[in-house]
Structure 1
Amino acid sequence: MLKKIEIPSSVDRRPIPDKIKQRIDSALARIERFQDRWDRPQIEQFVAADYAHVYQSLDWTLQTQMTIGQRFVEWGCGFAIVSAAAATLGLDVIGIEAEDVLLTQGRETIADWDVELELFHGNFLPPGAQRLADDPMLPSLGHPVPDAYAKIGLDLDDFAIVYSYPWPGEDDFHEVVFERYAARGALLLMFCGPNDIRLYRKT
């Protein structure tokens, strides 16, 4: 089962290093330019998170919660900003993304941030996880790409922390997948919208 860990409302007052804040602001400007392009189709399933708030919440988590290791995976990493931020906090990071064009942007983020992490093209859902969905139209189910974990050489239960940004209505599905496939003691950090970041531990 999952145990919810309350993140204090004051977490958004945690200081962010100037260098990290500058990198986040630069990445947001890149996202805005990317989304303003008219000469290519928009990727409807990419929406920017509140990266500063996510950084603060992840930093708080690492400072206050026991972890079962250092491996961190981002489900649907997009521009890989959360992955890059996690790397600056000392985690061993892997990002998974289904869209090639977003992987290209993610690799640019890695270069800009000068961090070491790996990005993989593929489906972030473990094999068989789609059967856990009670709605066949969930956005997480619409990625006809190969299983990323086979490429990585790891399973979901090899990761200590999972980060996801579920679309409205699919947060329960992400929780169910995490509960089914993650290791006991692992943490799930979810950005569910402005001022709504949730943290769970599998017990």
Structure 2
Amino acid sequence: MLHKIDIPSGVDSRLVPDAIAKSIELAKQRIETFQDRWDRPQIEQFVAADYSHVFQALDWTLETQMTIGRRFVEWGCGFAIVSACAAHLGLDVIGIESEDVLLVQGQTTVKDWGVPVELIHGNFLPPGAESLADDPMLPSLGHKIENAYESLGLDLDDFAMVYSYPWPGEDDFHEAVFDRYAARGALLMMFCGPNDIRLYRKS
């Protein structure tokens, strides 16, 4: 089962190093340019998070919570900004993304930040996880691409921490997948909207 860890409301007052703040701002400008293009279809499932707040929450978590390792995975990494933040904080990071065009953008972020992040094209759901969904129309379902864990030679329980940005209404599904497949003691962080970052430990 999952145990909720309360992130203090003042976590958004934690210092974000100037270099990180600048890198986040430049990445956000790239996202705006990407989303304003008219010459290709929009990727509806990609929505930017509050990356500074996520960095602060990750920093607080690593400072205050025991972890079972340093391996971190981002489900649906998009521009890989959270992955880059996690790598800056010393985690061993893998970002998984199903959209080729977003993976290219993530690779640009990793190069610009100069951090060691492995980006994988694939489905972030472990094999069989779709069966945990109550709604067959959830955005996380239906990606008919290779499973990322098989190509990595890893399972979800090899990771100490998972980060996701669930689409509205699928946060329970992400929690259920993590509860079923993650290692005991692992952490799940979810950005669920402005001022709503949730942290859980699997017990």
Partners of 2:52 and 2:113 in 1: how far apart? Answer: 15
Partners of 1:48 and 1:144 in 2: how far apart? Answer: 24
TM-align CA RMSD:
0.4
Partner of 1:115: 115
Partner of 1:99: 99
In the TM superposition, what are the counterparts of 1:47-196 in structure 2 within 5 Å?
A: 47-196=47-196
1:41 shift after superposition? 0.6
Give the structure-2-normalised TM-score. Answer: 1.00
Partners of 2:142 and 2:66 in 1: how far apart? Answer: 34
Partners of 2:152 and 2:109 in 1: how far apart? Answer: 20
Structure 1 moving runs of 4+ over 2 Å:
none
Partners of 1:157 and 1:72 in 2: how far apart? Answer: 11
1:142 shift after superposition? 2.8
Give unpaired runs (5+ residues) of structure 1: none
Partner of 1:31: 31
1:64 shift after superposition? 0.1
Q: State the percentage of identical aligned residues.
A: 77
Give unpaired runs (5+ residues) of structure 2: none
Aligned residues: 203
Partners of 1:102 and 1:179 in 2: how far apart? Answer: 27
Q: Deviations over 1:110-143 (max 9, x none)?
A: 0100001100000000000000000000000031
Partner of 2:13: 13
Structure 2 counterpart SS, 1:4: strand
Partners of 2:136 and 2:6 in 1: how far apart? Answer: 31
Partners of 2:12 and 2:143 in 1: how far apart? Answer: 33
Partner of 2:200: 200
1:146 shift after superposition? 1.2
Q: 1:113 is aligned with what amino acid?
A: W
Give the structure-1-normalised TM-score. Answer: 1.00
Q: Deviations over 1:37-89 (max 9, x none)?
A: 00011000000000000000000000000000000000000000000000000
